[in-house]
Copies of this chain bind each other. A is one copy, B any other.
Amino acid sequence: MATVSALGYALLCALHRGPLTGYELVQRMRKPIGYYWTAQQSQIYPELARLSASGLIEHDAEAGPGPRQRKTHRLTAAGREALAAWLVEPPALRAFRDEAILKTYALAAADPDGMREFYLAEAETYQRRLDDFQAQHADLLSGHADDPLHPQFGAFATLELALAGTPPRIRWCRWMAERMTELARLRRESTPAEGSTPASRTSPPDG
């Protein structure tokens, strides 16, 4: 059996509730799925061809708006099986990249006032995202997607996690902004004259 990449499984996941065109898959990888798994158009179309070649998906074709046919993809029995087997396996990918946390690590090398603005902007970004999540959550709730038997319960559950995880992150950003205000004040105080003398006493080198 051909090995399937993580992106391949992501597409199988996207197709689990019913057939979609390539274009619709591109949208899904931006909006609901894109919150936890992104992919560009240029990855998606070749991957669909590979999945098709492996017999995990199949498609109908009709005349499309452009010079090419419009294809509607759906899972085959083999695809559904491969997906079910992958879902219960422990995640292979644990690597995770967050630029804001990386920047926080090296915070001592930055200007405190600039970092304050940085954290306030971060807080705003996450607040907007939270509002979006809450709207989607309310939508699903009104359709009773909180019932584990509901076909959209999975989507509902991802929002439950986002709704639990985002507020602590916003609070942390605001707390960091306050610490940066404090840091700016402390640095000013420890450098009495506005001249160029660096106050090296307050920064002991440390392993």
In the assembled complex, how far is the CB of residue A151 from the closest CB belonging to chain B, in whole angstroms? 5
State whether B151 touches A176 (Cβ < 8 A). Answer: no
In the assembled complex, how far is the CB of residue A146 from the closest CB belonging to chain B, in whole angstroms? 9
State whether A110 touches B98 (Cβ < 8 A). Answer: no
Identify which of B13, B102, B148 contacts A103 (C-beta below 8 A): B13
Interface residues on A, range: 35 or more
Q: Residue of B at shortest CB range from A203? A: B151
* In the assembled complex, A31 has its CB within 8 A of some CB on chain B: no
Identify which of B38, B143, B160 contacts A95 (C-beta below 8 A): B38
Identify which of B10, B33, B107, B153 contacts A87 (C-beta below 8 A): B107
State whether A97 touches B151 (Cβ < 8 A). Answer: no
Known: A84-B110, A114-B87, A158-B104. A169 touches B179 (CB 8 A): no
Report which A residues bind B (CB closer than 8 A): 6, 9-10, 12-14, 16-18, 32-33, 35-38, 80, 83-84, 86-93, 95-111, 114-115, 117-118, 121-122, 143, 148-149, 151-155, 157-158, 160-161, 164-165, 168-169, 171-172, 175-176, 179-180, 182-183, 186-187, 190, 202-207
